[in-house]
Structure 1
Amino acid sequence: MDFYMKLPRNKKEFTLFMMVISIISVNIIAPLITCFEVGFRMEVWADAIKIIPFIWVAVIALVLITYKPAGWMTGKIIEKDDSFAAHIVVNILCNVLLMSIFLTVIGTWIGSRQVSMEPIVLFFYKWPRNFAISFAVEALIAQPIARLVMLKLHQLEDARLDADKA
C-alpha cells in the first residue's frame, strides 16, 4: 500500500515528486557544502544562493541520467518482498551515491565558475563529506516531504474518485 500511496503513479506525479525533492535538496545541500568549503559566513551563503538555479539544472539532468542505473543497483540489492522502508533507503543510497559522484566535480565547477582539475584531484577528500550531507538531507528531509506530498495528493484523488462514484 505504501508503494501505491507514497510514490508517483505516473509521469506527471514523477515530475512533481522530482521537483519537490530537487528544490529542497538543492536549497539545502548546495549552500551547506559551499559553507563547508569556504566558511560559514553570510556572504558565502549569499553567493551560494546565486548559483542554485545552475546547480538545480545540473541536478535535474543528472537525476534523469542516473534514474535507471540507480534503479538497477537498487534491484540488485533489494528483493521484491522486502519492506517499503528497505526499498526507499536502498534507493536513496543508490541515487545519492551516483549523484554525489558527479556533483562533487560538476557542482564545484558550477560553484567556482570555472572548469579545473581541482575537484577531480581532491575528489576522495571531498566526496565522503558531500555524500554524507546529501544522504542525510535526502533520507531525512527531502524524500520524506516528497512522499508526504504524494500521499496527500493520492488521498485527495482517491476521495474525489469515491465522491464521484457516490
Structure 2
Amino acid sequence: MVNFMLKITAELDNLTNLQPQGGCDDADFSYLFKLKCGRCGELTQRETCVTLNDTVPLPVGKGTTHLIQKCKFCGRDGTVTMVQGRGTPLTNLESQSGKYAPLMLFDCRGYEPVDFVFNDGWKVESLEGTKFENVDLSSGEFDEYDEKGQCPVMISNVRATFDVVK
C-alpha cells in the first residue's frame, strides 16, 4: 500500500482559494490521471476517472474502493481508494511563493497515479471576495474581470504532482 498526495499549484493573479467546485472533498469532482502498473511499469493509454461518489466492493474481504482496474499488459489487478479530509485550497500566498497545495490523497495498491489532467468544475475567489464558479482549467488557464475589485483576474501555469506520503 502506497499513499499518493495529489498537489497542485498555479499562478493566481488577484485570486485565492483554488479548489474543486464543492471543496477539496467534493463527491462529484472527477479526478483524471493516468496509472502506471506497479508490477510491469505499463502506463495506461487513456486517463482514468475517479470520483468519491463512485465506489465498488473489494474483490477480497470487506470494504469498498473507488477503482479496480486490471493492467492490460501483465493482467494484475490494482485499486485506487480516495482518502478524504487531507486537501486544502491553493491560496494566493502559496501561489506567490511557488508552493503546492494538497488536494486529495489516494491509497494505491498495484498502481501509481501519474499525469493529472485539469478539467472543469473548479472554483476560485478574487482577493476582493468575488466568487468564480465552474471554472474550466482544461486549457491550462482562466481569465476574467472582477467588477467588485475592478481588476483583471487570471489563473495560469497550472501544474500538479503526486507525492508519496507515509
Q: Structures share a fold, TM > 0.5?
A: no
Q: Which has the higher strand share?
A: 2
Give the TM-score taking structure 2 as reference length: 0.29
Q: Which has the higher helix share?
A: 1
Give the TM-score taking structure 1 as reference length: 0.29
